[in-house]
Amino acid sequence: MHLAPHSKLVMIGDSVTDCGRARPVGEGLFGAIGTGYVSYVDALLASAYPERAIRVVNMGTSGHTVLDLQARWQTDVMDLRPDWLAIMIGINDVWRQFDLPRQPECHVPLDTYAETLEALVVRTQPVVAGLVLMTPFFIEPNPADAMRARMDAYGAAVHAIAAQCGLPCVDTQAAFDAVLNHIPSAAIAWDRVHPNHLGHMVLARAFLQAVDFAWAAQPAAA
């Protein structure tokens, strides 16, 4: 497993990451880490690799786009000095184009999205041990659906940045598509964006696979 003992893993994104995490920093007891995939990642790491004492910090903020991430990057990423960073952003960058079509000031065009995300990656990659990019997703099985098609384009930009920078990329859309072959989207997310417990486990599993989590791992002997 790639995360070394005593690593700090910061996971940043939008509402799918946020899930009610504590402010200003989502870490600690009693739901401070939120109730979504970040909490599942934390629980699985702690239960399978307790001897590594990995810290997981949730810095998701509901409603945010990549431009919002850029505005809070110093305080919410750099100042926390993570060893590992996971970024999943882009859902609102696309969604605002569909639920607020007459408010272009809320939209983040694809070129702006890609340029901004790449700049954040280039800024951060030299100061972390590992960085994982996660694509945005839309829990819709039909790739011809207008919002799904747009989301796929933003996901392709994430893949391109990851390839260019030599980083792992978690294809969250592919992870959901595999489940959608058997389970209707309404049983995973009422609005095709905000997952229930099943959807959050899909995200957690996809992330952990990217860091070579061993599903058969047993805690090390004392």
Active-site choice (2, 6, 47, 191): 191
Active-site choice (7, 18, 39, 194): 194
Provide the residue type at 196 as one letter: N
191 is catalytic: yes
Active-site choice (15, 42, 76, 200): 15
Could you give the CA distance from residue 89 to residue 73 in angstroms, rounded to a whole number? 13
Please identify every residue annotated as catalytic: 15, 191, 194
